[in-house]
Amino acid sequence: MKFNEFLNHLSNYEPGKDIEVIAKEYGVKEVIKLASNENPFGTPPKAIECLRQNANKAHLYPDDSMIELKSTLAQKYKVQNENIIIGAGSDQVIEFAIHAKLNSKNAFLQAGVTFAMYEIYAKQCGAKCYKTQSITHDLNEFKKLYEAHKDEIKLIFLCLPNNPLGECLDASEVTKFIKGVDEDCLVVIDAAYNEFASFKDSKKHLEPCELIKEFDNVLYLGTFSKLYGLGGLRIGYGIANANIISAFYKLRAPFNVSNLALKAAVAAINDDEFAKKTLENNFSQMELYKEFAKKHNIKIIDSYTNFITYFFNEKNSTDLSEKLLKKGIIIRNLKSYGLNAIRITIGTSYENEKFFTEFDKILR
């Protein structure tokens, strides 16, 4: 059977290995997963309670108006419901943006190394990808590339802070940059980890209501997968002016998010104690990762996220990842990003200690 031609240019995405699957394969008793930037404290207690209470409603189709969650987000961010779209993860909102703006005759711009899904989704539309030479976000280079290919570039991704490298631009630099971007070019600000950056340094804080008031071409993306501990439920959101949201709605399948995810997300937003604990643990434990790096002469970039990236010179990241795996520790090897580096999620102090102990042995 023949399929649409564009499928020939797409490759099959190889799913990562599940924690339980790995445990079985390697015969390790305890598996510590510091690979997917999940919340080390698990699911927020208020969300657990909500899920248990609503488990008997799994047969009911979701409220497709998503009014409860939209209103909660609208209040939190001081925007209107019409400025919000909910996706099955912020990933799905990235897909909407790409399908709404990109095609085989135009292009998008991103940092040298950033969230891999931008390129993967964009390939489905056949759009050209411009990347900065700098692996981290360098706005001067963004500007140069944009100016040189202004007619082509219809979408710009800014990942703030950046996954998988951890650096973050200041909000003031970002707004200055967007002022130089044509109104017809959509600037997607992927703020999946922005709560972490804001906590560490208020200069990194991005306020969606201010952004969409100033710019008609900005899309702010948030997620419940990181700080809010709901990665398994697939729920995130986009905030933008109503015209953009309305266009995205045309691409959204009805019932794109589960009813339990919609309910748990509201509970998670209201679990302030959990969020506070997560943020405090993250940056106090991050210090230990910095110390460890210093001790072992490992290069790092200052991280504004819930992970840290270790760069290696002689040692090979694939080899190191494999050795950690055998000890039951899963981290993210960044070889597929063209880097000899690993990305480690900041875990609980127990998990981090285990990592330090085992990695110390491996590095000797």
Residue 20 or 314: the one with the smaller Cβ distance to its own copies is: 20
Residue 29 or 59: the one with the smaller Cβ distance to its own copies is: 59
Residue 120 or 363: the one with the smaller Cβ distance to its own copies is: 120
Q: How far is the CB of 69 from its own copies (least distance, A)?
A: 12
Residue 297 touches its own copies, criterion: CB under 8 A? no
Q: Segment contacting its own copies (CB under 8 A): 130-138, 230-238, 291-299, 339-347?
A: 230-238
Q: How far is the CB of 40 from its own copies (least distance, A)?
A: 9
**Which residues, numbered 330-349, are part of the site for its own copies (CB under 8 A)?**
none
Residue 242 touches its own copies, criterion: CB under 8 A? no
Residue 257 touches its own copies, criterion: CB under 8 A? yes
**Which residues, numbered 97-116, are part of the site for its own copies (CB under 8 A)?**
99-103
Residue 300 or 329: the one with the smaller Cβ distance to its own copies is: 329
Tokens for 77, please give them: 């961010």
**Which residues, numbered 48-67, are part of the site for its own copies (CB under 8 A)?**
48, 51-52, 55-65, 67
Asked if 225 and 236 touch (Cβ cutoff 8 Å), the reply is yes
Q: How far is the CB of 102 from its own copies (least distance, A)?
A: 8
Q: 3-state secondary structure string, the chain?
A: CCCCHHHHHCCCCCCCCCHHHHHHHHCCCCCEECCCCCCCCCCCHHHHHHHHHHHHHCCCCCCCCCHHHHHHHHHHHCCCHHHEEEECCHHHHHHHHHHHHCCCCCEEEECCCCCCHHHHHHHCCCCEEEECCCCCCCHHHHHHHHHHCCCCEEEEEEECCCCCCCCCCCHHHHHHHHHCCCCCCEEEEECCCHHHHHHHCHHHCCCHHHHHHHCCCEEEEEECCCCCCCHHHCCEEEECCHHHHHHHHCCCCCCCCCHHHHHHHHHHHCCHHHHHHHHHHHHHHHHHHHHHHHHCCCEECCCCCCEEEEECCCCCHHHHHHHHHHCCEECEECHHHCCCEEEEECCCHHHHHHHHHHHHHHHC
**Which residues, numbered 207-226, are part of the site for its own copies (CB under 8 A)?**
216-217, 225
**Which residues, numbered 121-150, are part of the site for its own copies (CB under 8 A)?**
121, 124
Q: How far is the CB of 293 from its own copies (least distance, A)?
A: 26
Residue 7 or 202: the one with the smaller Cβ distance to its own copies is: 7
> Torsion angle of alpha carbons 35, 270, 233, 259, nearest 10°?
180
Residue 91 touches its own copies, criterion: CB under 8 A? yes
Q: How far is the CB of 105 from its own copies (least distance, A)?
A: 10
Q: Segment contacting its own copies (CB under 8 A): 137-145, 161-169, 227-235, 279-287?
A: 227-235
Residue 88 touches its own copies, criterion: CB under 8 A? yes
Number of residues that bind its own copies (CB under 8 A): 81
Residue 179 touches its own copies, criterion: CB under 8 A? no
Residue 246 touches its own copies, criterion: CB under 8 A? yes
